[in-house]
Each structure stands twice: as C-alpha cells, then as structure tokens.
A and B are shown apart, each in its own frame.
Chain A
Amino acid sequence: MQHNVNWLQALLVLSLSVTLGWTVEVQRPRGVPLTKRQFYDEAKPFTCLDGSRTIPFDRVNDDYCDCKDGSDEPGTAACPNGSFHCTNAGYRPTFIPSSRINDGICDCCDGTDEYNSGASCQNTCKELGRKEREALQKLAEITKEGFLLKQQLIEEAKKGQQEKQSRLSELQDSRKGHEDKVEALRTVKETAEQPEKEAKERHLKAWEEHKAALRLEKEKAKMAEVFLELDDNADGFVDVSELQTHQELDPDGDGTLTDTEAQGLLGGAHKVDSTEFMNMWSNMKEKYVSEVCPPTPSSYDSSHDEQKDSTSDKDQERDLDKDPDSVYPEDDLDEDAAGEDDEDDDDDDDHQVSLLFCIATPFIQPHHIFLSQQYICVCVYQRQYKIFMYTLSTVSSVCERERWCLLCNAALLPFSFRALEKEISFDFGPSSEFAYLYSQCYELTTNEYIYRLCPFNRVSQKPKYGGSETSLGSWGSWSGPEDNKYSVMKYEHGMGCWQGPNRSTTVKLTCGKETAVVSTSEPSRCEYLMEFTTPAVCLEPPNIDTQVHDEF
C-alpha cells in the first residue's frame, strides 16, 4: 500500500519537475539535500546533525570523517554511515550510501556520485523520468480501471453475501421442514412395516426351531456311526473291552482307560445297546476319535455347522447394532458431516432402517452438492441382513423415491449447511472484494508445467506433457505485512519434498484489470512464488489535482 502511495507521489514530483522546468541549482555542499541546506552554513562552524560535536566548516566534505553520524561528509565516502543526495533533475531525487561515491559505478542518474573516480557517467535522468512517467501513467490507468472493477466486485460480493445469508436461513428452515417430514414418514413407515416386522420375527423363530431339529438329526446320525464303529463284534452292544480300544476316552488323562473307567463311561454297565449308548454319547463325543480317518469336511459333526451358523448369525446381528459409520468409512464426505449424522443414526437403528450415508457422485465436492443442485444422491440402506444400493433413478415407486430423497437430503443438509457457513466465514477482504475468486481456478502454462491456482483452496503443478499433478499447497492464510495483509496469500502443506520441506506457495497479489496468474517461480527449493493480478487489490487513486507536495 505504502509503495503505491510512493509512486503516486513520485509521479506528482516528476510531473511537476518537468512541467515547471525544475532545474534551479541551489548552492550547498556536495551531497546535501535541499531540505538540509540550512544546517550547512559556510559562515559558521558546522555542528554534526546529531549534535555530537562542532567542527570548523572547512572540515565539511574534507574526506575525513569527524561526525559519528557521518553528517560532515555528505559528499565523500569518508564516513561509513553517511549518505549522499542525488538531485537527479528530471527523475526522482534519492539518497545513496556514501560508500557508493566515487566507487567507479554510476548510481545517481545525474552521475553526480562519480565526480572523481574516472567513471564516465551519462546523465540518464530525463530518459529514466520519461520511462518512469510512462510506466506510472500506465500503472495509474490500470489502477483507475482496476479500482472501478473492484467497486463492482465489492457490490457483487455484497449481493452474494446477502444471497448466501438468505440461503443459509432457507437451509435452516428447510432442515427443520425436512426433519418434520422425515419424522412423519418414519411414523408412516413404522406403521407400514409393523406387519412385515412381525412376519419376520415369526419367520426367525421358525427358522431357529428348524435349525435345532436339524442339529439333533445330525447328532443322531453321528452317534449311530460311532456305535457301529465301536461295536467290533457286531453283536449290537458296545462293551467295556470294545470301548478300551479308544484310549483317548480316558477321563483322568493317565493314558489308560481302565475297566472301571470304561464302565463308568457306559453308565456303570458292562455293555450298552444303541439306544442306551445315545445317552452315554454326550460324555464321549468331545474326546472320541473316529477310526475312519481323516475326517472329511462332509463328516464334520453338526456342532461345527451350528457354530458356523451361529457365528454368522451373530455377525449379522452385530452388524445391525453397529455404528454404521464404522462399517462404511465416509470416503468422500467432510469430517464435519460425520458428527451431524449421529442423531439420525440413532433413530434409524431403532427402526432398523439404517441410513449409513449418502454419497455424491465422486466428481462433485461435498459443498457443491447443495449449491449446484446437480448431484445424484446415492443412498445406502441396510435391510434384512443385506445391503441394498439405491439410487434415485432406480427406485421404482414414487413413494419410495420420495422417501429416499428426503432421507438423503436430511443427511446431506448438515454439511451443505456447513459448506455455506464455511464460505460465509472466509476472510474475503475488508469489503469481500476477493469473494469472486472463491471456487475459481486460474492457470499459467510455462515451458515445462501447468500451474493452477484455485484461490482459497489449493495450488498445483502438472507437467505439460503428461504426468501426475503435484500439490504445491492448500489454502493457509493471508500473510502480507501488517499494513497490507491482503497483498499476499500463503498456501501450505503441499506434497513433501525429498529431504526437504513440504511444498508451499506464496501468492503475491498486484493490481491489474485482469484476474490472472502472471508468473511462477521457485526461489527456494520447494517454496514457490506466484504473482497474481486482480482488481481486488487496486487502491483508490488519490485525486492528484488537490494534493500539494511539501518538498516544493
């Protein structure tokens, strides 16, 4: 900002000095600006400008430094901290460090700094002045036009802001409306689903009973097999000696199945028939090893099957209870959205209508869903132990369709709401003049790369001839100097560099009629610099006619 004011002053000075033909040379020691002429009076001893000491006037500019502040040698290189004033008639007057006096390099455009070095300096002030005036005039025009554009931007931003605010309240309303409708639908649905639920429960019960019966059948068949296997003499009885061929049945684990122990297994009897054996079988079945080996999967006893069944049953039941978020990660949704869903999930669980999430088609960002109205909602619904995918287009009945849309919308609302809130909360400048950059992208193509700046979002770089995109940073903050915060944007946490930091980009904003990326560079490894022109930083051109400059 300061800079811009300076050039305006410069322009003013230049215009005046040219128009008035400002070439009057006022007598004063070499290197002294007009403003300090009064301190250098030949008739009096000279007092250093810091007041530190007073010396005879002939020691001013005598090429020996007497004053600590260097003020006695304005026209020589004797003082380390002195400065020399170039009048630069036709151009901007300026100060140069004393060390540049007579160093063989022309610093002042009027060449006055090289009065004794042998360097032949051309007076280039007029040429420089002309060029600078042209440049400044051009800049002034740009600023003027840019500033007008900026006013429009501010207006638009105001409108946009209002729209967003009203949309926000609309959203709040519609959210409420949705919730009511969903609630109403839920009641309807519950009522409608009650018979179904009961039927299901009945079916479940029957299924359980059926399974128990099946299990018993299997057990019986197994036991019969074992009986035949044990009954070595095929007399229709299993006796103690026959049982003793199966030492693994030894109950005390000492490795021998004694007579007594075997008898114990047979319920105290010496031998048992197949019916009695059935009662004893439960004592043995855990340890019994069939003589027919290896057991094939088909010969697995039913307990295995049962276990498997029950496990899968349990799993399914658990799935029903589970927090749906943890089953299906929300790939494409903002983190913000996750929390908002909790309320709905609870309700859904109660009714076993589990709306896990809604996802937009992958190419549309979450915050676009509401704003653009161009999404296809895909709802995922869990029902009857299975997951069904519904899309609006495939739902057959109008009623279903309406219901799903409502549910989806209800789920989407919170983050649509958030996205809007986020946008409204962005710092788009003192008058929201930068708001128009939001959700826009600007590209610059160089020899090797295409650079892409999406303000308030991200910066990226892509090889011109194929190759993947590299993130050069995501929106960080405004980071201009304190007095001009909105002149620099900082994008951080881009892709990491090998043995280096994460990539980051500094975007410098300058006044321009166009909104465009004008240059990119990488001044330091993985630290990018982008120059970006926008009318939004154009300052109001001060009214030149009314200003009066002190120096004249």
Chain B
Amino acid sequence: MGFIRILIELSLICMNPPRMSCLLAVWLAVVLSGIQAVDRSNFKTCIQSSFCKRMRDVVPGHSPYRALLETLELSNTRLTLQLINDNNKVRLLLELYRLQGNMTRLKINELKPLRPRFEVPDVLIADPPTEPLSLVSQDEGGVVLSLGADARHLVVSARPFRLDIVEGPHVLLSVNSRGLLAFEHQRPRKDTGIGQLTYSVCLYPCLWCDKEEDQADMWEETFKSHTDSKPNGPTAISMDFSLPGVEHVYGIPEHAENLRLKTTDGHDPYRLYNLDVFQYELYNPMALYGSVPVLLSHSTQRTMGIFWLNAAETWVDISSKAAENTDSVQAPSKVAQTDVRWISESGIIDVFIMLGPKPTDVFAQYASLTGTQSFPPLFALGYHQCRWNYKDQEDVRSVDQGFDDHDIPYDFIWLDIEHADGKRYFTWDPAHFSQPREMLQGLVDKRRKMVAIVDPHIKVDSGYRVHKEIRSKNLYVKNKDGGDYEGWCWPGTSGYPDFTNPEMRSWWASMFAYDQYEGSMENLYIWNDMNEPSVFNGPEVTMHKDALHGSWEHRDIHNLYGLYVQMATADGLIQRSGGVERPFVLARAFFAGSQRYGAVWTGDNAAEWSHLKISIPMCLSLGLVGISFCGADVGGFFKSPSSELLVRWYQTGAYQPFFRAHAHLDTPRREPWLFGPENTALIREAVRQRYALLPYWYLLFYKAHGTGQPVMRPLWVEYPEDVTTFTIDDEYLLGRDLLVHPVTDEGSKEVTVYLPGTGGVWYDAFTFQRHEGGQNLYVPVTMSSIPVFQRGGSIIPRKNRIRRSSSCMEKDPYTLYVALSPQGTAEGELYIDDGHTFNYEQKKQFVHRRFIFADSTLSSSNISPDSQFSTASWVERVLILGAHKPSSVTLKTSGQSPFDFDEATSVLTVHKPGVNAGADWTLLFQCRNPLSIVL
C-alpha cells in the first residue's frame, strides 16, 4: 500500500480542526491526483544526498591512504594494520579476517573516533568462525598473506593502500585499486571554536582535503521542506572493488531492474534506502522498500560475492571497462573488468568477500553469515487471496464460499488495514469485524487460515493500549530533541516503536499471545507493511535521519528497521505457540538476514504487463541474496488488470514462491470468478497447478532452509559456464528441475524459450514432449498455460488430487514424474513432515527420501536415517517420461504392477504401486529385449 492512501485518511481529518490539515489535504489531493507514476522529486538523487555527492566527487587515482606497515599485528584470528590519510593525518584501523568457507572479512574504522561508529548488529547469525592467516612475505611495499589452499593470497600494498586477493596468477578482486577509499572522520564542528585545531590541520594545500572541508551540507542539509540536523557532521564512507574478468554482476536488491545490473556511469548509482515509493517506475536505480547490500559477480570462471554490511543509506556505482590483464606471468592483454564502488552515509566499512568459486558456494557462504530462508509452514506456499480490503466478516465468508463454489483452492484470506479499529493494530473494527474468532473458526472449519495486517506505526491515542504501554515503557523512537518521534501514517499521528531495542521487540512479540491479541487464533498469521518505516510527512516518506534509537541516529540503522519489525513479529508467532509452530510473516521492507523471518513481496506494483515482467528479475535478485520467499501482487496492486493480464499473472504467480493476489481499495473487485467462466477456468487451472506441485515447492524450501540455495534461480546458477544464460531474466528455474517461462506480453501467440544444457533434454510439463537442451525453442502458447519444462534426469513428486486447501491434501498420495535423461537415469527427492511445526528440527520428525532411476530400476531410499515420521501418503502413480515400453513392471515387495504405455508421448504410467511414501521400495522395469530397456 502506498503513500497515496494518505488522501483518503486526510480527508477524514477535514472534519475536525485544525484547519491546516484540511487545507493541506486539499492541496495534496489537488497535487497528487494528477500523478500517474512515481513523483521522482519526492526522492533524492545522488547529488541531492550530500554525502553521495561528496563521495562520488572523489576521483580515482589519487588515494591519500597509506598502510603503516610498522603497525601490523597478526594474531591467530586476525590482522590489524593502521592506515593514514596523508592529507589530514587521520588514522584508520584496518582489520582483516580469513573466514571459514573461503571468505575474507575486511573492516575499517577510525583509529580514534570522537564517538563510536555504528556497527550493524543482529544481521550475522554468529561471529563468523575464522581461520588462521599466515604471513607469506613482507617488504616495505607491503605484505602477502596466505588464504589457505590453491595458492590463494591476500596482498596488502602500502602506498597507496590497496588489497588484492589472488589465486595463483589470477587477481580475483582488488580493494581500493582505484583509490576511492574515503572515510569521513568525525570532527568537532568548525564554527564551535573547538574545531579550530582540526581545521588548521586541514590547511594543507591539497585538492582532496579542501574539498572535504569546504563543502556545504556537512553539518546540516535540507531536502524539500525537511532539514536534517546532522549533529555529528560528515561520516560517510566509500570503497571501491575491482573484479577483473567480470562482465556480469547481480544482486543489491531491491530495484525494479533487470537481473543483470547495469553500469551507472553517467547517471545515478543504485540506491539502497528502504522507502515507501508510490507507483514505482521500472528499470531505474531508485531505492525501493528493501535493501540487501550484497553484490554477486559471475563469469564462466568464478562466482563471487561482496557483502557490504552497512545499514545506512547506501549507493552503489558499477562501471565496466576493458582493463590491462595484470597477471604477472602472462603477456599483457585486455580483459573485461567490472568496478564497483560502495558509498554509505555512516557506520564503518565492514565487507565480506565471498570467494565462491561456484554459485552454490557463494550461496552457502552468504548463508553461513546471515542464515537461510526460514522454513515456512506448508500452507504458506499455497495460494493467498488478498484485497484492500475485505469489508466485513460476511465479505470474508462469501469470498471463502466463492472459492468452494468455483472449486478453486486457497489457503489464506487476508485482511488489510481497514479491519482494525481506526487502524489501531491488534484490534478489530467493532462494526465490521465484531466476532473475529467466529470468523477465524469458520476458516478453521475449512482448514484455511487468515492473515491480518499489523503495521509498525502506532496511533497516538491515550485510549489505545498499545500506544499507552509503549509510551509508558519509553520504547518509542525519539526525535532529535528527545521527545517521542511522531509522524503521519494510516491512523493519523503515529508513534514508531524502537524495534532496534530488544526490550521493544520482546514486548511486541508478547503482544501476539492469544490472550494479548484479542480475537486472534492459531490460524491467524501476520503481515507487516510500511516497515521501511513509512512516514507520510517525513523526508522521502520515511523517518527523519536525526531521529534517535537510543544513542544511535536513525541515519545509522535505517535499512535495518524493517528487519527488526519482522523479526519481532515472527518471534511473537513462535512464542504464542510455545515454540511449537512455524510462523508466517510477510514484510515489505527487508535487509540482509530478513530471510530468517518470513516472506517479502515487491510492494505496490501496478496492473500492467511491464510489472508482470519485472516480477521475475525482482524475485530472482532477491533469491540470489538469500531471500527466497518472494512474490509480486498477482494482478497488480494499482489499477485494474484486463482479464488476459490477470490470467497470465496467475499463471506466473503459481510458479513464483509467494503466491498472493492483491488489489488497491479503489479497484473493482477481482476475485478469480469475476471474469467469466472461461477465465475462471483458466485461473482455476493455474492455481491447481500450484497445488499439485506443492510437494516440490516444499522440498525446495526445505533445501533452501538447509543450504541457502535459492528456490527460484536464474539459469546461470545451474549452467554457470553457459554465457547465454547470464542475461536471461524472462525465464527461470525452480530448484534445478523445473524451467518456467512466463508469458508476459499481451496477445502472445508464442514465446522463445532457451533450454540450457547441451546434451541434456527437457520435457514439456503438460504434453511430456521431449526437447533437446542447448537450444532456443519456439513454443506456441495459448491462454491455457505458460511453458514449463521438467529437466531430463529429474524426478518430481506431485499431488494430483487438488482439494480446497493444502491442509486438506495432507494425506493424499503422490504421483512421481520421472523424466529420463538421455542416459536413461533420473534422480529426485521427497520431503514430508507435519507441515507446520518445528518438530522436523527439534525432534527429527520428517521423511526425506531419494528416488533414483537407473538400470531400469526405480527405488526410494532414506536420505536421513536418523529421522522418524509416519505419513499416510502413498505413491498412487509413477510416470516415466521418455520411456520405452517394458514387458512388465514389478514392485519388489508385491509383484506385478499394472501399467499403460502411450506410444505417442513415450510416457509409461505405472498404476497404483500403493507403497507408503515413507517406505523403501523398488520398481523393476523388465523388457523383452534387455539391451534396450528404456532408452
């Protein structure tokens, strides 16, 4: 939900004094009603953000920083070394760590800061374990340290300061090679008199220094009507990284941008600053709701990652060039190179360099630092029906009934802000939702769930318990003068709980207890919107940077706020069940580590084909940086979709991790059955495809949770040496085995699908037609579905008995889709647990099977022998795609199984093996001619 909604709220203010608000509302209505897309003037460009401008003005090649080698200290776990800025003689302290799992951490802080600088807490899951660094050589030019195997070294050059990570003759990554390291040390304010000394130090005739001291906006800056008091003065940091041999970089979400990042020469850098952007524009570097400061580089040789752990406003410049090949042993030649410059407003430089070398290694490395995707309850992977707003309990009941009447499955119905009493979250509107438990029980009876919104802005109202308690506990964010910070949001004047405070989070979590959150029940889950935080009357629609979180400025923690909100809410849902049930929390703002707390979505998109298209790279980018549980509002939030767009969006959403339809308050109703019987049937089919694949989705999330591998993957992740895949973002993989190419153009009659993997094969998921890998395939499309292919060599379990919710399907049998490779083999997995508790983790109660088809034998074996779980599910059918007709099929334990063979499609269907899904079993396929069994 976007900023524009303020109009409706403000018009209510009109009824009461003060008059000014009324006038303002009218003014806003006039000004905003004409806006069709994002109003760029509401958001800063780099030039308008003074630190970004200052840092970007630093030119390459003149680094004033020098490493003082005599200060080098090497312990078992780290190396420290002082750096000096030769222009102002300010010293910095460099710390270097060699981390387990092929990572290097680099920290730079002021040696003697006036005040401590902010170091981001609560993002790393633990202190990353280190490995010893050893000194290889040292001279006056620098030192060389060993990073372990593969002749991997860390070269520290002293003058100017520079770091190179090399492997044999290859430079993998260089730091400050362009001399863009900049660190604005804290200083007393010049005009206070105390600052005179510092000032005189800076009278050295040097270009860089003069710039630093002379620039305006260092101690105060104004954007539009908002003045940022900046009591600590300039504190920005900047650092450059060079990636020789790299042409493709990815990540640093959230941007409405292609998967592969563009160079930012000549225009603004990519911005990371969590903002509530009304009607965002596509294909530009503007900041959006969330930030993950992780950039991935990829080439056929190697995949690496740079994790810039900083929660302040951050800008990332990307440029590329053909550079001299610096490999010492080879003759000079030109190679591609990508240079990346990070700029942040405050905090310290704290960088994790993840050295890969494979994509899966980088995912595992990043997961080892910030954790993996939380394992959602199975039903959260079903379909979610949302709208701003279902009006009352009767509306909820009739929409619920509508799904049954039209035989469309769904698991969650959602309530937006209107459900609460005057936007006082944790309450219910007494007129329209007077009996919430009755309503929730109605859903329990259908084995369905509900999500209610709980936003992190709290109505300032002395009669509202939540407000009263937060105020009395003194847990609100403070303004620069020490009073409670207040801003406008949905409820009108609101306070913002200081979620950075553990006491606040713990109190918030306690609010979700069934006896605290009145009317809540076990099947009520939570949505945290507006957690950037959104402040309608704040600078750039967010909180003033000089607001205070304890001793830290909002400036320091901004991008982290949203993560804390979701963290506290997820904790609350876990606690209310006594630690038994897995939570489900959706949030709009996020940061590195948010994957541990639930799902995110791409915010307030629009009912336009371009927004459907961009949902793919937006979620792919999030998946690359750990956040797998991603989705876009199906149908588009703003505006009203044509029935064709809506159907295509359902077909796409069914194959994206978080599958929720949502719509703006002012749009016509769009429940799936409102577009005529044909479209209803198409949407029903799309949702049913989702439900059939839930076992596969669940497995992928289980594995994402265990290993950090993304659920929704760019093709290059699985085909890292196929250059063709490096820029593809109109199709993607789910896990390794399903390739999805959504139809995102109006009136499409065909799409071209790139099938990767030369020498491999792919099977159309609907017709089972077999296609060679390594080709562009021209696929005619109708409205009935989007192209989906199963990889030859894979086995995917489905549940083909689609019921009205995922819970209803719990005990249903599986059908195994065995897609044979050209070698006649296939492999797959199945994961089963109770679907909603932590028992899988705490009590090892789960089933994890491996299916292997080889040598005309399909067998199921236990991957995790120490686990225990009994499932009612069984195997009702096995489909062998790309098979030859056998003479008999025998289940080892019980004899012959009936089967069908379809000559036209080469699909062998084994009827009702009937074995329990958790059991060991083997199916033998016998052939008259034993030499050509299934090939």
Contacts and interface: CB of A to CB of B under 8 A. Distances in A.
A99 B803 contact: yes
Contacts of A117: 811
A72 B804 CA distance: 22
Interface in A91-106: 97, 99-100, 102-105
B7 A525 contact: no
Contact of A64 (B669, B804, B876): B876
B808 A105 contact: yes
Interface residues of B, number: 29
Contact of A77 (B7, B29, B801): B801
Nearest to B392: A521
A527 B668 CA distance: 8
Contacts of A499: 33, 666
Nearest to A500: B666
Contact of B33 (A62, A78, A80, A498): A498
Nearest to A447: B431
Contacts of B407: 97, 99
Given A64-B876, A64-B912, A525 B665 contact: yes
A524 B666 CA distance: 8
Contact of A78 (B446, B669, B801, B811): B801
B736 interface: no
A497 interface: yes
Contacts of B667: 500, 525
A542 interface: no
A523 B803 contact: no
A498 B431 CA distance: 25
A99 B692 CA distance: 13
Contact of B447 (A80, A102, A104): A104
A180 interface: no
A100 B803 contact: yes
Nearest to A116: B811
Contact of A99 (B33, B665, B804, B811): B804
B800 interface: yes
A64 B813 CA distance: 10
Given A498-B33, A525-B667, A100 B804 contact: yes
Contacts of A501: 668
A104 B807 contact: yes
B911 interface: yes
Nearest to B800: A80
B801 A80 contact: yes
B150 interface: no
A97 to B, nearest CB: 6
A522 interface: yes
Interface string B644-684: 00000000000000000000011111000000000000000
A79 to B, nearest CB: 9
B668 A103 contact: no
A105 B912 contact: no
Interface string B582-597: 0000000000000000
B802 interface: yes
Interface in B800-838: 800-804, 807-809, 811-812
B668 A104 contact: no
A522 B668 contact: no
B19 interface: no
Q: Is the interface of A mostly helix, strand, loop or mixed?
A: loop
Interface residues of A, number: 26
Nearest to A525: B666
Contacts of B800: 80
A366 B377 CA distance: 67
Contacts of B7: 498
Nearest to B15: A467
Contacts of A99: 407, 801-804, 808
A77 B803 contact: yes
A31 to B, nearest CB: 15
Interface string B502-539: 00000000000000000000000000000000000000
A64 B876 CA distance: 7
A523 B807 contact: no
B812 A77 contact: yes
A523 B394 CA distance: 11
Contacts of A525: 665-669
A521 B812 CA distance: 40
A498 B447 contact: no
A523 B667 CA distance: 11
B449 to A, nearest CB: 14
A102 B447 CA distance: 13
Interface in A494-552: 497-501, 521-525, 527
B669 A103 contact: no
B445 interface: yes
Interface in B392-442: 395, 407, 431
Nearest to B802: A99
Contact of B666 (A77, A97, A105, A497): A497
Nearest to B387: A524
Interface string A38-77: 0000000000000000000000001110000000000001
A524 B808 contact: no
A117 B7 CA distance: 51
B849 to A, nearest CB: 21
B825 to A, nearest CB: 27
Contacts of A500: 666-667
Query: Which one of A63, A78, A522, A524 has the greatest number of beta carbons of chain B within 10 Å?
Result: A524
Contacts of A521: 391
A105 B804 CA distance: 10
Contacts of B802: 80, 99
B911 A64 contact: yes
A95 B779 CA distance: 40
Given A64-B876, A64-B911, A104-B447, A498 B666 contact: yes
Contacts of A523: 395, 669
Interface in B760-804: 800-804
A461 to B, nearest CB: 16
A508 to B, nearest CB: 14
Nearest to B8: A498
A525 B389 CA distance: 10
A107 to B, nearest CB: 9
Nearest to B407: A97
A103 B431 contact: no
B321 to A, nearest CB: 47
A114 B825 CA distance: 41
A105 B407 CA distance: 15
Interface string B838-876: 000000000000000000000000000000000000001
B900 to A, nearest CB: 10
Given A62-B912, A497-B666, A498-B33, 13 more contacts: A63-B876, A64-B912, A77-B812, A99-B407, A100-B803, A103-B804, A105-B447, A105-B808, A498-B29, A499-B666, A500-B667, A524-B669, A525-B667
Which 8 A-B pairs give the minimum distances between C-beta atoms?
A: A524-B669, A103-B808, A64-B912, A99-B803, A500-B666, A524-B668, A103-B803, A499-B666
7 contacts: A64-B911, A77-B803, A100-B803, A103-B809, A105-B446, A105-B447, A105-B808
Interface of A: 62-64, 77-78, 80, 97, 99-100, 102-105, 117, 447, 497-501, 521-525, 527
